[in-house]
Amino acid sequence: MTTADDLIGLIRTYNPSTDSDLIERAFAFGADMHQGQYRHSGEAYFTHPIAVAEILAHQKLDDATIVTALLHDTIEDTRASYNDVATQFSPEIAELVNGVTKLTNLELASSETKQAENFRKLIMATSKDVRVTLVKLADRLHNMRTIRAMRPEKQQQKARETMDIYAPLAGRMGMQYIREELEDLSFQVLNPEGRQSILRRFVKLQKETGDVVHKIKSDLIELMNPVGIHVEVQGRAKKPYSIWRKMQTKKLSFSRLSDIYGFRVIVDDEAACYRALGLIHQRWRAVPGRFKDYISQPKSNGYRSLHTTVSGRNARRVEVQIRTRDMHEVAEQGAAATWSYKNGERRDNPFAVEPSAWINSLTEHLSGEGDHSEFLEAVKLEMYTDQVFCFTPKGEVIKLPRGATPIDFAYAIHTRIGSSCVSAKVDGIRVPLWTRLRNGQSVQIVTAEGQVPQPSWIDIASTGKAKAAIRRSLRELDRERFIKLGRELARVAFDTVNRRVTDKALTTAAKQHGLPTAEDLLARMGSAEISARDVVAQLFPNLKVRSTDEVSEDQAVVGLDPSQSYSAAPCCLPLPGERIVGITFRGFGVVIHGIDCPSLERYEEQTERWLDVRWHSGVHAATHQARIDLTMRNGAGVMGRICTVIGDLKANIQDIEFLDRKPDYFMVLIDLELRDVTQLHSILTALEADSDVASVGRHRPPFTSTETLAKLDTVNGLQTAG
């Protein structure tokens, strides 16, 4: 086990003036408090705080942070109190230890509402003192390194929590090496077969190509030295999870991936970065569209570097990152760089950025919401996405997450601009509002007086700020209608437990959801953001809900054997309430058709494959897919109103496909999730009554021949039984 002298020796390599007495006292205090405690692996528990302290020492952090690491579990797991730590060390250290204790007690993997509320606390702790989060990230890193000692189900929970929360948080704070290791350790738990397959392919590739990393490093050094550029080159294969994610995102096999090797060229100054870039592009062919200049346009976490991808040895693509030593320190340590030491003094890195600016911008537009789930959504959107840089017509730079649309751009400028947006021009060309913006594009937002946000914008927007502003506007516009609908939903839900809806009950439920008034709760229920059934379950957890004869998905079709599975035929997509028939397929189960489906003609001579089935007459819990054809006027707000009509009838829109676009009308195909055919008829009737809808009807593919029907079976993977 690492001793106090070992730890002090490590700290002195970057901070010769460290307070060795403070470190020794903290080491002894922690060892004494954890005496007799053991980890799941059987090791003495104090080995864990020591390992966390070592991780932070390798980041060259100050004495207070190292001491906090040694003591971070004492207040929570031992007889030591806050006052004990404050008295024996300092109020600053006691406050840091208490902050880490509070983060440890957050149940980030619990229910969504609780998780969101606790995650807000985590973000707030980060804004108060980033060192609390640095210790927590190091604590989670060591726990993930030793996770195999835990029960399998606990491993899964911790790995998922790490992948969803802690790894993105580390990345957003610029601590890339911690993020990559957390992701890979989680990947090893969540998908061990996938990780092993990547490693096996790496081994095979190395046998075929030899030590590519060493060869390319030598090539880069030999390229720079003759022209007087003092360079340090680091090269490695990318982490298995990084490779896996790229394969999944781009739908590529391992053999088709290009840049599985990454190299970092570290030089003395910024001018040398661009000189090195020029030499690399002269020596190897640059891959179009794969150059990014994060020096002139740094990321919000302080990250600066030049990125390029070139065809290197044997035409194999490699990614090269070029940066100075100060930039490299920020790229590796991120927020920790603001607290790191060198030669006994706080390191003044000009590129280091504390996360306070990010935290403040994140919470500013949600400060009055009181809605934890929206806060969680906004934080995750901000953490998971890379950035693109777009320009206003005046040349101002707007930073947005990758995948952002003109709506996000408009709200990034000002909420008023976003809410009154009617169209956009990208590089001078009018584009739909759902267009994904790319680096370097110039965007002009066209606004109109009287325009209001449309419900469909929520699905189009990518940033938390835009989504939150759109929801606020929609709630204000539709508040009265949603309150009325919410009151009716509440009445029905309360009736299932034989209770009346009272103002007191609604006020209590509103407080449980962090909302100021009962009307706010009713509005959320009416807009389907809060389930009336969940509200009743929280208020009356011990009361049994009266049965509503709800039918599960596996009970939906009557007439099947227990061993038979079923699926809806894609040609007719039958709904509960319609007459149906089943056709058996060897190895596939039973395919359910509507009785009037034209494709049934193909099976008229195969009566042994027909099954007499029917839909269960109860209320169906699962939803079913349906499609409708719609021709509507091309006008501002029409599409939004169509979506609102469908939403008001409690249907969910899966997808919208524009079949034809004309200056005066649109023809669209809408995929819906419905309960039954009655709900479909209600939607068709409501849409037909809209003055801007020219025609609407259920979508039926035009099957006209036996040959066409045979192709349908092949397309859907169905093999006709002989």
Among 296, 322, 346, give the residue marking a domain's end.
346
Local confidence band at 459 (pLDDT 50, 70, 90 cut-offs): confident
Residue 712 clears pLDDT 50, i.e. is over it: no
Q: For residue 343, what pLDDT is reported?
A: 54
- Work out the number of other CB atoms within 10 angstroms of the CB of residue 652: 12
Distance of CA 383 to the CA centre of its chain: 8
Q: Do 245 and 334 belong to one domain?
A: yes
How many angstroms separate the CA atoms of 98 and 82, rounded? 7
Amino acid letter for position 350? P
3-state secondary structure at position 207: helix
Q: What is the CATH number of the domain that holds 327?
A: 3.30.460.10
Q: Do 138 and 42 belong to one domain?
A: yes
Mean pLDDT, residues 550-563? 76
For strand 624-633 and strand 693-698, is the pairing parallel, antiparallel, or unpaired?
antiparallel
Mean pLDDT, residues 277-289? 89
Q: pLDDT tens, 90-105? A: 999 998 888 888 777 6
Task: Report if residue 140 sits inside a domain.
Answer: yes
Residues 6+ apart with CB under 8 A from 575: 624, 626, 674, 676, 677, 680
Task: Single out the residue of 392, 422, 386, 420 nearest to residue 404, CA to CA.
Answer: 386
How many angstroms separate the CA atoms of 674 and 684, rounded? 12
Task: Report if residue 149 sits inside a domain.
Answer: yes
Give the end-to-end CA distance of the chain in Å, rounded to a whole number.
Answer: 70
Q: Do 493 and 462 belong to one domain?
A: no
Task: Report if residue 674 sits inside a domain.
Answer: yes
Q: For residue 484, what pLDDT is reported?
A: 80
How many angstroms separate the CA atoms of 81 and 84, rounded? 5
How many angstroms separate the CA atoms of 93 and 71, rounded? 9
Q: Do 471 and 486 belong to one domain?
A: no
Q: Do 524 and 589 belong to one domain?
A: no
When comparing pLDDT for 334 and 678, which is higher? 678
**How far apart, in Å, are the Cα atoms of 201 and each of 195, 447, 569?**
10, 53, 39
Amino acid letter for position 720? T
How many angstroms separate the CA atoms of 58 and 51, rounded? 11
Q: Do 184 and 281 belong to one domain?
A: no
The residue from 19, 24, 62, 77 that is catalytic is: 77
Among 135, 161, 190, give the residue marking a domain's end.
190
Task: Single out the residue of 466, 703, 487 nearest to residue 601, CA to CA.
Answer: 703
Task: Report if residue 544 sits inside a domain.
Answer: no
Task: Report if residue 352 sits inside a domain.
Answer: no
Do the Cβ atoms of 233 and 220 come closer than 8 Å?
A: yes
How many angstroms separate the CA atoms of 615 and 577, rounded? 7
Task: Single out the residue of 22, 106, 100, 13 nearest to residue 64, CA to CA.
Answer: 22
Q: pLDDT tens, 61-78? A: 889 999 999 999 998 888
Q: Do 527 and 648 belong to one domain?
A: no
Amino acid letter for position 85? V
Mean pLDDT, residues 558-573? 84
Domain limits for position 88 = 4-190
Task: Specify burial of residue 383 (Cβ count, 10 A radius: 0-12, 13-18, 19+).
Answer: buried
Mean pLDDT, residues 4-15? 90
Among 455, 476, 497, give the residue marking a domain's end.
476
Q: pLDDT tens, 25-54? A: 999 999 999 999 998 888 999 999 999 999
Alpha helices in 225-309 (DSSP H): 240-250, 270-283
Residue 409 clears pLDDT 90, i.e. is over it: yes
How many angstroms separate the CA atoms of 452 and 418, rounded? 9
Task: Report if residue 244 sits inside a domain.
Answer: yes
What is the pLDDT of the chain when averaged over all its residues? 80
Q: What is the CATH number of the domain that holds 462?
A: 3.10.20.30
Q: Do 319 and 285 belong to one domain?
A: yes
How many angstroms separate the CA atoms of 558 and 615, rounded? 6
Q: Do 388 and 306 belong to one domain?
A: no
Residue 77 appears among annotated catalytic residues: yes
Distance of CA 41 to the CA centre of its chain: 32
Q: Do 332 and 208 belong to one domain?
A: yes
Q: Do 175 and 219 belong to one domain?
A: no
Q: Do 514 and 583 belong to one domain?
A: no
Task: Report if residue 550 sits inside a domain.
Answer: no
The residue from 24, 76, 232, 648 that is catalytic is: 76
**How far apart, in Å, are the Cα atoms of 376 and each of 355, 400, 672?**
17, 18, 27
Task: Report if residue 384 sits inside a domain.
Answer: yes
- Structural domain count of the chain: 5
Q: What is the CATH number of the domain that holds 86?
A: 1.10.3210.10
